């Protein structure tokens, strides 16, 4: 199945997470590319799934990702599968804090897309990082999980 990972990153943490998720998707047999949110100009019509991620900005996704969703996710994406991820400060597994992955999940669900897994959140230990230990392994696993869920839907490559 053909899809893309779209992300924004100011200090490179969310980018590393996006790359690890891309590797996990590839590992599970998906045909996936990686693209920075501001450089997307027209998602190819042959894309079948989307994975979108952002650093947390005051409990929400960052502006470039919000703009990407507003600009690029048109009605014909309705019903297609997606997964959301994000980076945030805090402890791994900490729940209940508003953050980007859930904001993206909500925005894409409102556009009619169907979540296949997640959302996935990776934590950074300070404003500019670094990612907490094990975060990239978990991101890789998440990519695999998304890839396998896509196959489970009968949408395999
Ligand atoms: C203006 C601003 C607001 C932020 N607000 C939050 C927040 O509400 N919650 C949080 O956990 N982290 C917050 N952060 C920290 C970011 O989540 C962190 O810088 C980011 O995840 C690092 O990823 P990046 O290197 O890909 O940019 C904020 C950072 C900035 C610059």
Residue 157 belongs to some domain of the structure: no
CB 54 less than 6 A from any atom of ligand 1: no
Residue 98 predicted with pLDDT over 80: no
What is the number of domains present in the chain?
1
Domain that holds residue 32: 2-152
CB 57 less than 6 A from any atom of ligand 1: yes
pLDDT band at 87 (very low <50, low <70, confident <90, very high): very high
43 to each of 5, 76, 97, 110, how far by Cα in Å?
Answer: 11, 11, 31, 19
C-alpha 52 – ligand 1 centre gap (Å):
16
**More confident: 94 or 74:** 74
pLDDT band at 118 (very low <50, low <70, confident <90, very high): confident
What's the pLDDT at 125? 93
Q: What is the mean pLDDT of residues 64-83?
A: 96
Residue 90 predicted with pLDDT over 90: no
Residue 56 belongs to some domain of the structure: yes
Residue given tokens 């650093």 in the structure block:
55
From the CB of residue 126, how many other CB atoms can be counted at a distance below 10 Å? Answer: 9
Residue 60 belongs to some domain of the structure: yes
What's the pLDDT at 45? 82
Residue 15 belongs to some domain of the structure: yes
* CATH number of the structural domain spanning residue 11: 3.40.50.360
Q: How far is 32 from 6, CA to CA, in rounded Å? A: 11
* H/E run at residue 148: helix 135-152
For residue 18, give the nearest of 140, 149, 141 by alpha carbon.
140
Residue 25 DSSP label: H
C-alpha 62 – ligand 1 centre gap (Å):
9
């Amino acid at each position: 199945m053909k899809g893309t990972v779209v992300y924004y990153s100011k200090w490179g943490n969310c980018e590393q997470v996006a790359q690890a998720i891309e590797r996990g998707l590839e590992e599970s047999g998906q045909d996936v590319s990686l693209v920075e949110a501001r450089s997307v100009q027209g998602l190819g019509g042959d894309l079948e799934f989307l994975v979108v991620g952002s650093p947390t900005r005051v409990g929400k996704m960052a502006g470039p990702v919000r703009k990407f969703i507003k600009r690029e996710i048109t009605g014909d994406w309705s019903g297609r599968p997606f997964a959301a991820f994000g980076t945030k400060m805090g402890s791994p597994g900490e729940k209940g804090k508003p953050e980007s992955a859930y904001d993206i999940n909500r925005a894409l669900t409102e556009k009619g897309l169907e979540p296949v897994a997640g959302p996935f959140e990776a934590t950074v230990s300070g404003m500019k990082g670094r990612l907490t230990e094990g975060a990239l392994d978990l991101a890789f696993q998440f990519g695999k999980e998304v890839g396998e869920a896509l196959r489970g839907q009968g949408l395999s490559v």
